[in-house]
Structure 1
Amino acid sequence: MFFLSWDSIVRLLIVGVLAYIGLVFLLRISGKRTLSKLNAFDLVITVSIGSTLATILLNKKISLPEGILAFFILIGLQYVITLCSVKSKKFSKLIKSEPVILYEQGNFIDHALQAERVLKEEILQAARSNGLSTMKQVKAVVLETDGSLSLIKSTESEFSDTLGNVKCTRVNKRE
């Protein structure tokens, strides 16, 4: 089946352009959060939006208004959930992970590495990516809520303000 009809091509062209315009408009009014670095919740919304766009384009049984409504529902739910997470710390903890210290002051925190399924090699790679030649230059490594690794260099102040909200797992001698 190489070519069915010009009607399907014209429909795809018109619906594709209009769905794209509708999606861009809804994303624009929903704010930067929808397009930010992704935590698990944001990833689900992003994948759902992509799947919805594909369905609108390829399924003739889905009308353009139905597709735009599906976009509106997904983006609206994302807006409500993030608004609730900003207003309630309990709700925020329910839907988002917390940042975790994986390396601190010369010590890998093995139980945190295992719990978060991060390899020591990934931390070393993050140090190299930040232009560091030795881990002695690193005060701490934090696994952020979006899955990225943040490095705090040892030349920074003893207790940096950026570590204030990080789940602090101190290294004990028995570990």
Structure 2
Amino acid sequence: MFFSSWQDIGRVLLIGLLSYASLVLFLRISGKRTLSKMNAFDLVVTVALGSTLATILLNKKVSLAEGLTAFTLLIGLQYIVAWLSVRSSKFSELIKSNPDLLYYQGSFISSSLRKNRVLEVEVLQAARAQGISSLKDVEAVVLETDGNISVIKKSSFSSSSTLSNVSQKKS
């Protein structure tokens, strides 16, 4: 239970070193986007890569070649989806969500809060996390495509560019 054999430890060390080095190489080749968290799909790929690495390390039934094939498949699919998203607006709309405005110029947007299952207290928490004590100092709060909440202070607000891609449906 606490120790099987030195051979098992050696396998984990050798396979771990080789799979980790291969993953780093694959990620360098595929580019920064592979581990970005721009949207839910990117996050899923990142988690899947971590899970695959753990499986290669700890499951004796999974060979290094099988694990590296899984890395290649995940990174390749992520690359193809990102490539298609950049080149096809219809595909991009299918894969990606848009940021949503949760609070704007002194008012919560209740339809957007409901649609995204966000509570007003969570918006307030996001403001406090950025050192803002009152929503009087906030121009807008946006739920980004990666699930993060961005708080835009009144002093740093530029009406023409900052919110240009955000759904601005007020209820």
Instruction: Give the alignment's TM-score, normalised by structure 1.
Output: 0.91
Q: Please report the RMSD computed on the Cα atoms of aligned residues, expressed in angstroms.
A: 1.5
Residue 148 (structure 2) pairs with residue 148 (structure 1): yes
**Which runs of structure 2 are paired with 1:27-106 in the superposition (5 Å)?**
27-106=27-106
- Bigger drift between 65-74 and 155-164 goes to 155-164
How much does 1:35 deviate?
A: 2.0
| Residue-by-residue CA offset, 1:24-65 (whole Å, 9 max, x unaligned) | 111111111122235210121112111211111112222112
Quote the offset at 1:122 in angstroms: 1.2
Match of 2:2?
Answer: 2
1:60-104 deviation line (CA, Å, top 9, x unaligned)? 222112111110110110011011111111111111111000001
Q: Number of aligned pairs?
A: 171
SS across alignment from 1:163: coil
| 2:14 paired residue number | 14
Measure, in 1, the Cα distance between the counterparts of 2:53 and 2:17: 11
Cα deviation for residue 136 of structure 1 reads: 1.4
Tell me what 1:121 maps to: 121
Q: Please list every run of at least 4 consecutive aligned residues from structure 1 whose deviation after the TM superposition is greater than 6 angstroms.
A: none
Counterpart CA distance in 2 for 1:160 and 1:147 is 23
Higher deviation after alignment, 152-161 or 31-40: 152-161
Distance 1:90 1:129 in 2: 36
Q: Could you give the per-residue CA deviations for residues 82-138 of structure 1, whole angstroms, max 9, x where no partner exists?
A: 111111111111111110000011000011101101111111112222222221111
Moved more, 144-153 or 158-167: 158-167
Q: Is residue 2:162 matched to residue 1:162? A: yes
The structural deviation recorded for 1:156 is 4.1
Question: SS where residue 155 of structure 2 aligns?
Answer: coil
Q: Determine helix, strand or coil for the equivalent of 1:102.
A: strand
Give TM-score, length-normalised by structure 2.
Answer: 0.93
Distance 1:138 1:13, change over 3 A: same
2 CA distance for matches of 1:16 and 1:93?
38
- Does 48-57 or 150-159 show the bigger shift? 150-159
Identity %: 60
